[in-house]
Structure 1
Amino acid sequence: MTYNGKFSEPAPVPPTYDFFPNLNGVVTVENCYYYLAFLERFWTFMDTMSLQEQRHYLARAEVRYEKWIHNHFSPMLVPPLDIAFMWHVHKLSPFRCYEDLVLRLPCKKLFDDPLPLYDLFKNEDLTPNDLKRWKQTFGDDEPYCLTSQNMYSGTYQRPCYRCQQMIELPWPNYYDYRFGANHTRFPHSCVPDDGINFWDVARMKIESDLTNGLVAGTLLNPDGTEKVTPNKMVAKVKPIQVIVPQNEMDRAYERQIQEQLRFLGSDYEYDANELLYAIRTSYQGNPSPFSIDLIQAVARQRKFYFDIMSIHWQRPISYIAAVRRYHDHLALIKKHPNVKAIPTLEIDVAFHTHMMHSRTYRNFTLTQLEKVINHDDDIPESSIKEHLREWQTVWSNQNLRHPSIEHRYRFTVSLFLYIK
């Protein structure tokens, strides 16, 4: 699909090779611009559909992303727009993306690969050989370009978390289940007498992860590094086969965890709280294999898109400023590790662009800041205002004076990063 928008022209070109700032080799004026172009293209397409069609489109996109990550190979086709956006919001949660793609599923190759921002911008038509490769991998029922016209064709399929037999439903039925409009049971080999619904699917997901010891939300330390010692409570909790009412999975496990703590003592309290929080945020009402609800994550990005589109992005000054101020933002995080950092919109664009290169971002933050900076876009508005006031005070107290943005950006030795 072609579009004419703010970011439909090629990125700004520097007058000389090293004129524009370049942080970590990937946070560049060009990449920031193509990231904005990617967002504009996706939401422009979404706005061609009704609200219900958008919901159905995202539900199928989530399933298509799951299929795609397990069939990711090199050289791989540029992912379709819907799959690319799901991959994008997954990358925007660095902790959970690392847990999912490296530790739980695993798909380490995909974690290491950056989102191909320029290739997505080019949006070139597929060749006959490309389409042939797609069909060979995904079959005739899965179109490369998902639209409101074809997203109801075919059948939803995914292996059951418990028995590995395929769960199969017509797509319209699956959409109702995924968004909680239908909770009736349907036949499945796991429970031949009563059948299952998608509350059962989410329950089987936590059962499976408790059994193999890979519970999402418990595999990383607070600094984002992998735990050497696993969460102690995971081995103490038994999978619950029947939950009544079905939508209170967290309360069922909370009762079991509290009962266990009576005997295990205070040494287990941190692990118990971590596990319970993980169940609430990664499993409750989430039948997908991912540790975050990607559909909700896409919905949260809608406001971010509206906000950044309201900015007058002046070429190339605005993108240069975004890269520079993102650098300063990271420098202040290094200097004030106990203050919650709230980025401005232009800083957030550079921040998002950095996270589109997951392996590079992870290695950079671990090396320069000694921790992976997680990205939380689900903070309550009241908390954001409080954190913002504190962060503005930190920012205003710094003497971050730099040359005119018309010139190459250099830093004094007082700042910890190097930027070209």
Structure 2
Amino acid sequence: MNLNLKFASNAPLPPTVKFFPHLDRVVTVEHCYYYLSFLERFWTFMDTMTLYEQRHYLARAEVRYEKWLHNFNEGIRVPPLDVAFLWHIHALSPLRYYEDLVLRLRCNAVFDEIFPLDNLHHTANDPHMNDLNIWNQVFGEDEPYFLSPENMYDGTYSRPCYACQQEIVLPWSAYFEYRYGVNTTRFPHDGCGPAEGINFLDVARMKLESDLTNKCPGPIVAGTLLKPNGTIRKKPNKMVTKIKPLQIILPQEEMDYAYERQIQEQLKFFGKKYEYDANELLYAIRTSYQSNPTPFSIDLIHAVSRQRRFYDTIISMDWSSESDILIASIRHYHNFMATLKHQSNLHAVPTVEIDIAFHVHMLCGPQYRKFTLKHLHQVINHDDNIPENYIKEYTARWKRGIVAPPYIYMVKETKKESRHVY
């Protein structure tokens, strides 16, 4: 046990059985505490590395998360720290998380699993031997259970091509440069690539092509599969079937503009009744596909970097009365959700205190969807990509008494769209 960690011990115990509040059976003081422990362990380990090493570590962790997803049924319920952190980051975008795991990648079993905060805390340095054995059997010696700067360059990157399913194989050092866009040179790919080879901008293009032309159950373009309330669309996006996958995009970095031109041409024929679907599709291409060669609909690596600010704020807080803070976190989160229920057309910015309980709730995907659909009639989305000046502006407005109540900053929307929580 690292005695320098603030959350290394066991979760605080209530003086009486019913003393601690809880919400939806999963948002508890215990889970909130173990969530803080999980964040602290991850970022403490990250801080032992240089920035250069951190970037490489996250790129490999992202690939390992994909491999773990597709081998979840082998029995590895408690993944390594790096994989668990990417899993958690994915879950913090509940609409895209549901789209990816349930509708696109068919990893329903992972979505149905409750994030193992308790096990991750208690097996931090001593994982179950069964998990280690299964990991070694499934992934082999080239994929160590504990990822570190000492072993993250060992072995090779490989994944099936989206177009031809032939493996794309590269040294990890080369993959890291491709993943971050440092290297856009082409490498040989005999399966479906042209004579000059492909790069990872081509891989991102082929990812969209594969989703556009999916045969069963049909096109699975990320960002177009759910209604604004988070439920599955019964009728697919009308524009998806009207456009053709582009084999060549020049310049390669401008996938969105290439498709925008095609979409605009289609709108000349189909008119205004297709405008919503056209805008939805173009936004999906920009946010889920452009420069994103991974199978996920969000850039998980960028999402990790955004979470660092959240952790730095948490770790700087005074935790001498940790149980009081976590109790307040759950109660204010309850009030936060109640406010969203009774306020229409609302953008909301939760405080860090509320966000702790909010994150814990989202880590239990099925419960979170069921709870928000039942009580708020939609799945409340979560987006941490909010400009710092936006938060400062509404913090200042709250201090001047313009915005209320004190645990939530609000702004009315100016147009019809789904509510988002930042």
Q: Is the TM value for this pair above 0.5?
A: yes
Distance apart, 1:140 and its partner CA: 1.3
Distance apart, 1:192 and its partner CA: 4.7
- State the alpha-carbon separation in 1 of the partners of residues 68 and 15 from structure 2: 39
Distance apart, 1:89 and its partner CA: 0.4
Q: Name which structure has the greater RCO, CA cutoff 8 Å, separation 6+.
A: 1
The aligned counterpart of 1:264 is 270
Mapped contact 2:76–2:134 kept (Cα < 8 A): no
- State the alpha-carbon separation in 1 of the partners of residues 405 and 72 from structure 2: 42
Q: Percent identity?
A: 63
Mapped contact 1:3–1:41 kept (Cα < 8 A): no
The aligned counterpart of 1:19 is 19
Mapped contact 1:141–1:154 kept (Cα < 8 A): yes
| Corresponding position: 1:378 with 2:379 | no
Distance apart, 1:73 and its partner CA: 2.1
Distance apart, 1:285 and its partner CA: 0.5
Q: Please, which moves more after superposition, 49-58 or 191-200?
A: 191-200
Structure 2 residues without counterparts, runs of 5 or longer: 409-422
| Corresponding position: 1:393 with 2:403 | yes
| Corresponding position: 1:227 with 2:233 | yes
Match of 1:305 among 300, 311, 318: 311
Equivalent residue letter for 1:182: N
The aligned counterpart of 1:410 is none
| Corresponding position: 1:152 with 2:153 | yes
3-state SS in 2 of match to 1:100: helix
Distance apart, 1:292 and its partner CA: 0.2
- State the alpha-carbon separation in 2 of the partners of residues 321 and 201 from structure 1: 46
| Corresponding position: 1:274 with 2:280 | yes
- TM-score, L = length of structure 1: 0.92
Mapped contact 1:11–1:33 kept (Cα < 8 A): yes
The aligned counterpart of 1:162 is 163
Distance apart, 1:161 and its partner CA: 0.2
The aligned counterpart of 1:197 is 199
Distance apart, 1:396 and its partner CA: 5.3
- State the alpha-carbon separation in 1 of the partners of residues 277 and 135 from structure 2: 44
Deviation string 1:72-120 (CA, Å, 9 cap, x unpaired) is 0264341100000000000000000000000000101100112100111
Give 1:14-413 correspondences, 5 Å limit. Answer: 14-73=14-73, 75-122=75-122, 123-126=124-127, 128-189=129-190, 190-212=192-214, 213-313=219-319, 314-385=321-392, 389=397, 393-395=403-405
- State the alpha-carbon separation in 2 of the partners of residues 175 and 267 from structure 1: 43
Distance apart, 1:379 and its partner CA: 2.1
RMSD: 1.7
- State the alpha-carbon separation in 2 of the partners of residues 96 and 182 from structure 1: 28
Distance apart, 1:169 and its partner CA: 0.1
- State the alpha-carbon separation in 1 of the partners of residues 3 and 407 from structure 2: 43
Distance apart, 1:6 and its partner CA: 1.1
Mapped contact 1:218–1:231 kept (Cα < 8 A): yes
- State the alpha-carbon separation in 2 of the partners of residues 222 and 4 from structure 1: 44
Mapped contact 1:332–1:395 kept (Cα < 8 A): no
Equivalent residue letter for 1:180: G
Distance apart, 1:126 and its partner CA: 3.5
Equivalent residue letter for 1:393: V
- TM-score, L = length of structure 2: 0.91
- State the alpha-carbon separation in 1 of the partners of residues 30 and 87 from structure 2: 20
**How many residue pairs align between the two structures?**
398
Equivalent residue letter for 1:101: L
- State the alpha-carbon separation in 2 of the partners of residues 74 and 318 from structure 1: 39
Q: Which runs of 4+ in 1 moved over 6 A?
A: none
Mapped contact 2:78–2:131 kept (Cα < 8 A): no
3-state SS in 2 of match to 1:368: helix
3-state SS in 1 of match to 2:234: coil
Structure 1 residues without counterparts, runs of 5 or longer: 399-420
